[in-house]
Structure 1
Amino acid sequence: MSTSIEKEMVLPENEVENIELLSSIEDAYGGVTVEMKEPMDSKLFASMLGSSLSYWIQQKKRAVWIKLPIEFSNLVQPAVKEGFRYHHAESDYLMLVKWILETSDTLPANASHRVGIGAFVMNDKGEVLVVQERNGRFKGTNVWKLPTGTVDEGEDIWKAAVREVKEETGWMRVEDYAAQPFNQKNEIFKNMARICLTKSEKDYTGFSTMSSTTSSGKRTYMYFNNKDFEPSHRDGARIMF
């Protein structure tokens, strides 16, 4: 049994025919992931992969990821012939990837860890710079958030923060940002809002570690200065978190 679905694809000559394509799942960044779960002859796989790539290119997908369990190593060669490269490997699978959109390849390199940054920028009107994401987990949620991103390999953290800020626009009252339901319910974002408000009201330097939990239940750590960290006050009114 092959891991496949049937799709109707428009050929360059505007002819239409039913062809068998590899099963795929769309990701949040405009790409697709193929996870092979059943054995397949390498020649059949090569044929289906070629047809699937043509279809995904027509659909203007950005990239294709193929997850091959170790027992399907016979499929590595036809994937490599189609231009796929190794991205990373674990003990039981190999992940291959190919950028197919006609733009610069922005696929992240595999890493043992990732450094994330966020920028808190406030003007003299008490407004904070916020963004709504066009891709990722916040796409279509109407959540306003601080400019965030990841630090590139070899990049200074402060330079990454400046780079992310330059890509963003949009302002809102800092109290409105902190009061958003998502910020109130999410432990990490709630603490980030408290830290940023503390910084805006008084001197705030140094870093300490706060253990926290992501929305998916993973343990993570925030580094900040707990010396000046206390409930915020603005204009004599207590801001509740």
Structure 2
Amino acid sequence: MIVTRLMIVSRSSILSVTSSKNLSFYSKKRPLSTLNPSLRSQGKTNRLILGIFSSIRSSMSSSMSRVSSEKQVERILEAKNDDHGGVIVEMTSEPMDPGVFASLLRASLSHWRKEGKRGVWIKVPIDLVNLVEPAVMEGFYFHHAEPRYLMLVHWLPSSANTLPANATHRVLVVQEKNGRFRGSGVWKFPTGVVDEGEDICDAAVREVKEETGIDSKFLEILALRQSHKSFFGKSDLFFVCMMQALSFEIQPQESEIEAAQWMSYEEYTAQPFVQKHELLRYIADICRQKKEKGDEGYSGFSPVPTTTGFSDSKGCLYLNRYDLKIL
């Protein structure tokens, strides 16, 4: 009998927004009707159109102004709800006038406040850098940046902001209520046990969610340790897994977790407990290599669904996708 456990390394250096919807607007108003194509001719017909326009210009002007104002207020940016009471807006690369964007953003913020939304995330591609200033003027601030986009965030409630300071090279850590680390002040990675019949990758996602409330995506196994006569005299496999954060607002598990937070990698490794233990130092070295050089510095093992000659059901083969050039 082998008892399989997990050590889960959760990082937030890459923000993945799951929404792939294009930017669009909502409006209950119909656009004004265009002129009948049959009237687009020369001579008297044109003079008639001009005459009609001249006679109703004043009334139409005020009416159109009112309709335009109403339409503008009702339009909001398309957003996807996250699991923590917030919304995520993913902008496309389609050009947009900063003034139009600012007006839409103000209407959207008003709408989201009425709905009781919390954090608002806007992913701005590099092609739309002209929209950053209007967003900052409405209270957004820089969360993190990647080569092709900038992530902006705004906390709407008057309560304390519980969003992470930034997502660059931070790790998710916890303090446990039970076990050997209880009351020690040690910040450690979330850990857990794989259920019978459960894949390692699924167990890692589940444990992170249960202990911290963070949604995550399994990326790869960075390392594993085998030991014997561990639990009840049985052998033990200990997996170090790298995860990609899909949300950032922490909700600690009341029954098991005393506290949880995003911590800089440097602060985590500087803990005396980490420096003292050889296993944790090795794990910290792996994380540093991964952080600094990516797959070129250190490549772990990612799951690939496979079948065998013994069964038609698929299992996971964990392999080095980078060197095999498997996407």
Q: State the TM-score bracket (shorter-chain normalisation).
A: 0.5 to 0.7
Instruction: Give the match for residue 219 of structure 1.
Output: 220
**Secondary structure at 1:29 match in 2:** coil
Q: Distance in 2 between matches of 1:69 and 1:4?
A: 16
Q: Distance in 2 between matches of 1:229 and 1:83?
A: 53
Paired amino acid for 2:23 = T
Instruction: Give the match for residue 119 of structure 1.
Output: 176
Instruction: Give the match for residue 5 of structure 1.
Output: 25
Instruction: Give the match for residue 200 of structure 2.
Output: 187
Q: Distance in 1 between matches of 2:228 and 2:151?
A: 45
Q: CA deviation at 1:36?
A: 0.8
Q: Distance in 1 between matches of 2:141 and 2:199?
A: 37
**Secondary structure at 1:158 match in 2:** coil
RMSD: 3.8
Q: Which residue of 79, 90, 105 maps to 1:35? A: 90
8 Å CA contact 2:175, 2:185 repeated in 1? no
8 Å CA contact 2:175, 2:187 repeated in 1? no
Q: How many equivalent pairs are there?
A: 153
Q: CA deviation at 1:22?
A: 0.3
Q: Which residue of 74, 81, 84 maps to 2:140? A: 84
- Cα distance per residue 1:201-240 (max 9 Å; x no partner): xxxxxxxxxxxxxx8441145787835435668xxxxxxx
In percent, how many aligned pairs have the same letter?
36
Larger proportion of helix: 2
**Secondary structure at 1:80 match in 2:** helix
Instruction: Give the match for residue 46 of structure 1.
Output: 102
Q: CA deviation at 1:29?
A: 1.4
Paired amino acid for 1:229 = S
**Secondary structure at 2:171 match in 1:** coil
8 Å CA contact 1:70, 1:93 repeated in 2? yes
Instruction: Give the match for residue 56 of structure 1.
Output: 112
8 Å CA contact 1:117, 1:157 repeated in 2? no
Paired amino acid for 2:80 = I
Q: 2:100 aligned with 1:99, yes or no?
A: no
> Counterparts in 2 of 1:158-197, with a 5 A limit?
158-160=185-187, 183-184=195-196, 185-187=198-200
Q: CA deviation at 1:103?
A: 1.0
Q: CA deviation at 1:157?
A: 8.0
Q: From the CA coordinates, give the structure whose radius of gyration is larger.
A: 2
- Cα distance per residue 1:37-60 (max 9 Å; x no partner): 122110000000000000111111
Greater relative CO, 1 or 2 (CA 8 Å, sep 6+): 2
The 3 A distance-change label for structure 1 pair 106 and 217 is closer
8 Å CA contact 1:69, 1:93 repeated in 2? yes
Instruction: Give the match for residue 204 of structure 1.
Output: none
